[in-house]
Amino acid sequence: MTAETAPDLEPATAEEVLQFAVERFHPRLYVACSFQKEASVIMDLLVRIEPAVHFFTLDTGLLFQETYETWDRVEKHYGIEIDRQAGISLAEQANRYGERLWERDPDLCCEERKVIPLRDRLRGADAWVAGLRREQSRTRSSTKKIGWDKRHGLWKVNPLAEWSEADVWAYILANDVPYHPLHDQGYQSIGCTHCTRPSAGRHGRWAGTDKIECGLHDG
């Protein structure tokens, strides 16, 4: 499949997009799981289509305790295993760059703890699934439901691209989907402990800086 021969999935529902991705790419379809609400919806949809799909998460070592608890809860709920992908240890990062790198150079911290681990994980994939939505930020406003990821050299699937915040919550409540408890405490977007604050949209990520993306979704 090339960019020219890829089907137009923009009119398709999230279920149809995921069905296509499974039929076309499984078992080399990898699903990124952040344990945020969008990831919960995607997981619930996918296990109905193909429960053996490859789920993974980027464990930065700086996630909220509630994130690790959600990880355990969704694995038990769906009867699946979510693979852990991590980069260098926090001790090694401190040795290389000094303590509390996230305060001095958040871009480099994200590179070491998220971008490089994602690149390493996707080496064995033909496509990956992410939870991007167009309304999340201006940088995501043109997100396609399927497109070529130039950075990683594979297809990227965003089944919830056109969904609103209300759509996500309506699905979660209608289907009794387990979700991250920090969403009930005002966190709309959840990342690492030192770089996440309660806020609408993605404004609580790297608060006080002009940074709004970690680098995972560039290219």
Q: What is the pLDDT of residues 94-135, one digit of tens each?
A: 999 999 999 999 999 999 999 999 999 999 899 999 999 999
- CA separation for the pair 35, 6 (Å, rounded): 29
pTM greater than 0.75 (yes/no) = yes
- Whether 80 and 51 have beta carbons less than 8 Å apart is answered as yes
Average pLDDT for the chain: 91
Which one has a higher pLDDT value, 69 or 205?
Answer: 69
Given the residues 33, 109, 110, 214, select the one marked as catalytic: 214
State both tokens at 162. Answer: 């056109």
Angle at 214 between CA 209 and CA 219, to 5 degrees: 125
pLDDT in tens, 81-90: 999 999 999 9
The CATH code of domain 14-195 reads: 3.40.50.620
Contact status, residue 159 vs residue 17, Cβ threshold 8 Å: yes
Query: What are the extents of the domains in the chain?
Result: 14-195
pLDDT digits (tens, 9 = 90+) for 158-173: 999 999 999 999 999 9
CB neighbours (10 Å) of residue 75?
Answer: 14
Whether 214 is catalytic is: yes
Tokens of 90: 């926090």
186: left (phi over 0), alpha (psi -120 to 50) or beta: left
